[in-house]
Amino acid sequence: MTGPATDDEPDAPVLFAEQGSSWWPVLWGPLFAAIGAGVEATTGPVHWLPWFVVGVGLFGIATVWVSARRKVYLVRLTTGTLTQGREHLATSRIAAITDVGTPTGAKILGGGWTAPRRTTEIPVRLDDGKVVLAWARDYDGLRDALRRLVEPEAGHVE
Question: Do residues 64 and 78 both lie within one domain?
Answer: no
DSSP E strand boundaries for the chain: 14-18, 75-78, 81-84, 87-90, 94-96, 107-108, 120-126, 131-136
Question: Do residues 143 and 96 both lie within one domain?
Answer: yes
Q: What is the pLDDT of residue 9?
A: 59
Residue 43 within a domain: yes
Q: Is the pLDDT assigned to residue 93 strictly greater than 90?
A: yes
Say how many domains are in the chain.
2
Q: What is the pLDDT of residue 123?
A: 93
Question: Do residues 44 and 60 both lie within one domain?
Answer: yes
Residue 37 within a domain: yes
Question: Do residues 100 and 136 both lie within one domain?
Answer: yes
Question: Do residues 84 and 55 both lie within one domain?
Answer: no
pLDDT digits (tens, 9 = 90+) for 30-71: 999 999 999 999 999 999 999 999 999 999 999 999 999 999
Q: Is 125 left (phi over 0), alpha (psi -120 to 50) or beta?
A: beta
pLDDT band at 115; cut points 50, 70, 90? confident
Domain that holds residue 48: 24-71
pLDDT band at 112; cut points 50, 70, 90? confident
Q: Is the pLDDT assigned to residue 16 strictly greater than 80?
A: yes
Residue 98 within a domain: yes
pTM of the model: 0.75
Question: Do residues 46 and 88 both lie within one domain?
Answer: no
Question: Do residues 64 and 126 both lie within one domain?
Answer: no
**Closest C-alpha to 123, from 108, 138, 111:** 108
d(CA 127, CA 139): 22
